[in-house]
Amino acid sequence: MEWEAIEARLNALLEAGRHGEMRGAMMMLNVVDIAQYMEKLDKEKLLLVFRILPKDISSDVFTYMSPEQKQLLIESIGDQEISTLIDNMFLDDAVDFLEELPAGVVRRVLQSAPVEKRNLINQFLRYPENSAGSIMTIEYLEFHTGTTVEKAMEIIRKVGLDKETIYTLYIIDEARRLVGTLALRKMILAPQDALLDDLMNKNPVSVCTTDDQEKVADTVRRYDVMAIPVVDKENRLVGIITADDVMDVIEDENTEDIEKMAALTPSEDEYLRTSPFRLFLNRIPWLLLLAVVAIFTGMIIENYEGLLKNASVVLTACIPMLMDAGGNCGAQASTLMIRGLALGEIQLRDIFKILWKEFRVGLLVGLALFLFTLARVLVVNQASFLVALVVASSLYLTVIIAKLIGCSLPLLAKRVGLDPALMASPLITTLVDATSLMIYFNIATLVLRL
């Protein structure tokens, strides 16, 4: 059934007040889809549908609602309902939710939350933003060394297994230090009296609470694991991070890189939810900085006033083409560097290999553009062969230099501890502009003797 049809059917049941059937219909849907359906409801209907929802999935549905709808709902329900809601949410989801709310609402939610959960949430809210600690969850299975398979199975049957546990058992010593991990599948197949210590992987990959989420994502991707344990400075186990949360981290980090590459201040808010003034603030710093750099490009042109006034207008007409081609060539090289560095495919020590490769690519790309431009200036602009040669050979040199600037700046940024993504198209373009004009005017003066 199409989504529009599902929506229409649910709306009809809601309008007709057939709440029992409505509950039955929703039980057939995924919680993510129910949350999407509730996105368009007004405050009154939202509350009604939330109360119609089967109790065992209402916290799950709540987790997938938008910040706006969550807040709307929180404002409508009683403290007891908030308490139950928070208690049934996974800790990491509850923390995410609170980070999105205004301070006043957070206070009310925390006051209503059960004491134990409240203390945990407060502790989690203190981890630095985007650290492993801030995205981990505490829903995992831990056992002390010396536990038998039989005993472990008994405990699992008692506490049950949550969605987030991902079937990995974490084994800790008497000081709560992580000493091993064990896949549930291995335990199921082992004899009842075996010790977990003998079955476990004694070299578990882990991350630290203060590690940046980018490092978490890199580690999970590198070792192909479905969940990774999080330890504190003393190697004590404090949480786990599951693959589904890592996927969101990967998308966030990619968005951040892409935004930086377009001279935007990265923002965690969705575009449609961001005010024009906020968007203005995200965009203007880089634009102003680049405008300052462009002053020098202007100075170069002013410096060659005589050349431009006396020579054919074709020289001026080719400035945009020269600048664009240089900028694009530099951007291509810098993009490949930025991406390669982000994925760990390129290391700083490769720099000479890279410069040599880009030089050869520049020779090829430059030659193709040289021939094209020579023909273009002769045919389209009807200029003399000497002028065409000036334009085309300036372009050739510009392409090679643009490739070298484009590939070295991201590596240089990485070397001095800056984010390579900052060395993308806008900055490269502006730098290459100045270089290409210098080359252009010098060649023109030399060849045309103006």
Quick check: 175 binds a copy of itself (CB under 8 A)? no
47 vs 183, which CB is nearer to a copy of itself?
Answer: 183
Of residues 414 through 433, those in contact with a copy of itself by CB under 8 A are 425-426, 429-430, 433
Residue 326, φ and ψ in degrees, nearest 5: -60, -45
Q: How far is the CB of 252 from a copy of itself (least distance, A)?
A: 10
Q: How far is the CB of 392 from a copy of itself (least distance, A)?
A: 11
82 vs 94, which CB is nearer to a copy of itself?
Answer: 94
Quick check: 246 binds a copy of itself (CB under 8 A)? yes
Region binding a copy of itself by CB under 8 A among candidate stretches 47-55, 191-199, 321-329, 411-419? 321-329
State how far the Cα of 136 lies from the Cα of 411, in Å rounded to an integer.
32
State how far the Cα of 140 lies from the Cα of 11, in Å rounded to an integer.
39
Quick check: 350 binds a copy of itself (CB under 8 A)? yes
41 vs 374, which CB is nearer to a copy of itself?
Answer: 374
4 vs 116, which CB is nearer to a copy of itself?
Answer: 4
Q: How many residues bind a copy of itself (CB under 8 A)?
A: 116
Of residues 15 through 54, those in contact with a copy of itself by CB under 8 A are 28-30, 32
Quick check: 142 binds a copy of itself (CB under 8 A)? no
In this structure, the number of other CB atoms found within 10 A of the CB of residue 158 comes to 7
Q: How far is the CB of 209 from a copy of itself (least distance, A)?
A: 21
Q: Which amino acid is at 145?
A: T
Of residues 183 through 242, those in contact with a copy of itself by CB under 8 A are 183-185, 188-189, 202-203, 205, 220-226, 242
Q: How far is the CB of 106 from a copy of itself (least distance, A)?
A: 24
| Helix (H) or strand (E) segment spanning residue 377 | helix 351-379
Cβ within 8 Å of residue 14, ≥6 positions away: 22, 45, 48, 49
Query: Residue 106 to residues 29, 66, 364: CA-CA distances in angstroms?
Result: 30, 16, 60
Interface pick for a copy of itself out of 1, 271, 349, 449 (rule CB under 8 A): 271
State how far the Cα of 140 lies from the Cα of 9, in Å rounded to an integer.
39
**Binding map of a copy of itself across residues 66-105, x = CB under 8 A, - = no contact:** ----------------------------------------
In this structure, the number of other CB atoms found within 10 A of the CB of residue 221 comes to 14
Interface pick for a copy of itself out of 10, 365, 374, 409 (rule CB under 8 A): 365
Region binding a copy of itself by CB under 8 A among candidate stretches 42-50, 69-77, 81-89, 315-323? 315-323
133 vs 326, which CB is nearer to a copy of itself?
Answer: 326
Going 191 to 192 to 193 to 199, the CA torsion angle's sign is positive
Of 94, 195, 432, 138, which Cα lies nearest the Cα of 296?
A: 432
Quick check: 247 binds a copy of itself (CB under 8 A)? yes
DSSP 287-350: HHHHHHHHHHHHHHHHHTHHHHHHS-HHHHHTHHHHHHHHHHHHHHHHHHHHHHHHTT---GGG
85 vs 227, which CB is nearer to a copy of itself?
Answer: 227
Quick check: 389 binds a copy of itself (CB under 8 A)? no
Alpha helices in 170-275 (DSSP H): 184-188, 196-199, 213-223, 243-261
Quick check: 137 binds a copy of itself (CB under 8 A)? no
State how far the Cα of 14 lies from the Cα of 160, in Å rounded to an integer.
35
82 vs 230, which CB is nearer to a copy of itself?
Answer: 230
Quick check: 283 binds a copy of itself (CB under 8 A)? yes
Residue 293 in contact with residue 433, Cβ under 8 Å?
no
Cβ within 8 Å of residue 19, ≥6 positions away: 13, 52
